[in-house]
A = this chain, B = another copy of it.
Amino acid sequence: MRYSQILIPTLKEDPAEAEVVSHRLLLRAGSIRKLTAGVYTYLPYGLAAIRRVENIVREEMNRAGAQEVLMPMVQPADLWQESGRYEKYGPELLRFRDRHERESCLGPTHEEVITDIARRELHSYRDLPVNLYQIQTKFRDEIRPRFGLMRGREFIMKDAYSFDTDDAGAEQSYRKMHEAYTRIFTRCGLEFRCVEADSGAIGGSFSHEFMVLAATGEDTIAVCTACDWAANLEKAAVKLGPQPAAVDPLPLVKVETPGMKKVETVCEFLGVEPERLVKTMVYLADGVPVAVLLRGDRELEEVKLKNYLRAKDIRMAQDQEVFDATGVPVGYLGPVGLSLRLLADQEVMRVANAIVGANEKNFHLQNVNPGRDFQVAEVADFRQICASDPCPSCGGALRLVEGIEVGHIFKLGTAYSEAMNARFQDQQGNDRPLIMGCYGIGVSRVVAAAIEQNHDANGIIFPVPLAPYPVTILNLGNKDEAITAVAEQLYTQLQEAGIDAFLDDRDERPGSKFKDADLLGFPFRITVGKRYAESGMVELRRRRDGFTEEVEVAGLVELVRQRLNEESAGR
């Protein structure tokens, strides 16, 4: 592609609307333009990057035996009423009436449509397993769309749906997608982790998220520095370190702590570390109060509590609700003598001679010991994992990092097939619900995530597999026949060698050409300029680290190929 033949309206200044790096650089690199909140046009350069992702996704989905289909964007409301999601989904589901007053919506996801197809077309175990996918524009009416392609309202998604006869088959379909996703993000040249995740609104039995690691992620994940283990904070199981040495229990003491309701204040007053304090938190689980014990230096992980309680909805009780449930003002609650369903984080059972609230205003208890001073029947893992915890898998050191969710796979089970009556006949002639899985990749988001992970102060640094053009040639002598001839010759030779080269043939100053090449993030840059006229040499430069080689024109195509292969292999 010649720069003179493609519309890449680069911006010299940072646009005010952009809050994150990928949004800013995609705008500056003339790759996207906002039409309205969360809705973007992909200009030629941005679309080319998206197509690179699409192609990798399509190849790997096909390789995994999935079949490409294309479902409609406009969907009838009645299917969503059947699944029960028309009420549940909330205002992100954009609803409207067509000219005949039929209730309709714009597809934010396609479980209903695919289940409708399945119940009409898949009748027998002989038709199964099937995995159908599409690459399609979705619409979710986010209340606060932001960050450009990271959280838009209209976006490109690959969504796949598997149908199996039994759980073992469904798990194999799930595993195949897990493998396909791993290959996809590896081929994209991204550093990522697969983490166990909560299933959230989609429902179903279990799920994994694929997270691209980047400083500006929306989610925090825990990753092991020694092994492969990684997990979403809400799902990361805490593995306790070795049992601490036994400590002699001391006699229980009641102390006056006037006006001291906070962990820090009480600890400072009593001269102990927060890990010696056990805090008592009251939550409402579907409206019913429960108390949870947690070490003073820890954070509760609400998703763990919610899942343990199998509650639809949990929230921390407000002060008055705590008082109504316990008769004790907030700040002085404790497990000794508390008449409320009592849960304890596993770590609490190891705290010896603890500080707790005395269930009396302005008083705490010292030297409290579980078992001796209070009983708790329900002990589990309720807290958020920390960087100081050991890896639950190998015991190695953990790191908490930011991640951008680019893929999510779900084992759905029979939630949709039961609700929508999608059944098949098994080998014995029995009528049974289809077992489903669903698998999403945010195609446009992958491009944004790639930029969040790969950029510097000068612009994008595209991983080779996602680069619209892996190499650009800067002709620094548009007026010089010899320089222009060799730039054109290299452009032709690279294309003939199957390398999708870019040629900056514009009548611009060298400074602009260098700046734009950096901004656009070509992985390699060939400069043909004065030095060629003097010595017959051109320059090959790697964007990622600035590694630069002076080379003769003769062997350049081969060298470019070699460097591109190294880049792809090195990731």
Name A's B-contacting residues (CB within 8 A): 5-7, 9, 30, 33, 35-37, 39-44, 47, 50, 65, 67-76, 91-92, 94, 96, 98-100, 102, 104, 106, 113, 116-117, 120-122, 127, 130, 132, 137, 139, 141, 143, 153-154
Contacts and interface: CB of A to CB of B under 8 A. Distances in A.
24 contacts: A5-B65, A6-B67, A7-B67, A7-B121, A7-B122, A9-B121, A30-B121, A35-B71, A36-B74, A36-B75, A36-B76, A39-B72, A40-B72, A41-B70, A41-B72, A41-B113, A41-B117, A42-B69, A44-B68, A44-B69, A73-B154, A74-B154, A99-B141, A106-B106
B68 A47 contact: yes
B70 A117 contact: no
Contacts of A137: 73, 137
A76 B113 contact: no
Contact of A153 (B74, B106, B143): B74
A312 to B, nearest CB: 24
A47 B69 contact: yes
Contact of A44 (B30, B50, B67, B141): B67
A145 to B, nearest CB: 10
Given A96-B94, A113-B41, A120 B69 contact: no
Contacts of A47: 68-70
A453 B36 CA distance: 42
A35 B76 contact: yes
A78 to B, nearest CB: 9
Given A41-B70, A42-B69, A73-B139, 6 more contacts: A5-B67, A39-B74, A43-B69, A44-B68, A47-B70, A73-B154
A398 B30 CA distance: 52
A366 to B, nearest CB: 54
Contacts of A33: 117, 120-121
A427 to B, nearest CB: 15
A42 B70 contact: yes
B72 A154 contact: yes
A104 B106 CA distance: 13
A87 to B, nearest CB: 16
A43 to B, nearest CB: 6
Given A7-B130, A35-B113, A121-B9, A69 B98 contact: no
Most buried by B among A67, A69, A72: A72
A92 B99 CA distance: 8
Contact of A141 (B50, B76, B98, B122): B98
B76 A132 contact: no
A104 B36 CA distance: 10
A43 B132 CA distance: 9
A68 B5 CA distance: 12
B99 A91 contact: yes
A139 to B, nearest CB: 6
A40 B99 CA distance: 18
Contacts of A7: 67, 121-122, 127, 130, 132
Nearest to A9: B121
A506 to B, nearest CB: 10
Contacts of A106: 74, 106
A137 B137 CA distance: 9
Contacts of A36: 72, 74-76, 102, 104
B74 A116 contact: no
Nearest to A75: B35
A106 B42 CA distance: 17
Q: Which 10 pairs between the two chains have the least Cβ-Cβ distance? A: A96-B96, A42-B70, A36-B76, A91-B99, A9-B121, A44-B67, A39-B72, A41-B71, A99-B141, A35-B72
Contacts of A100: 37
A75 B137 CA distance: 14
A132 B8 CA distance: 12
A5 B154 CA distance: 32
Contacts of A9: 121
Nearest to A72: B39
Contacts of A40: 72
Contacts of A76: 35-36
Contacts of A65: 5
Nearest to A110: B41
A75 B40 CA distance: 10
A98 B91 CA distance: 9
Contacts of A37: 100, 102
Most buried by B among A5, A33, A35: A35
A75 B9 CA distance: 22
Contacts of A74: 36, 39, 106, 139, 153-154
A113 B69 CA distance: 28
A9 B121 CA distance: 6
Nearest to A139: B74
Most buried by B among A69, A102, A104, A121: A69
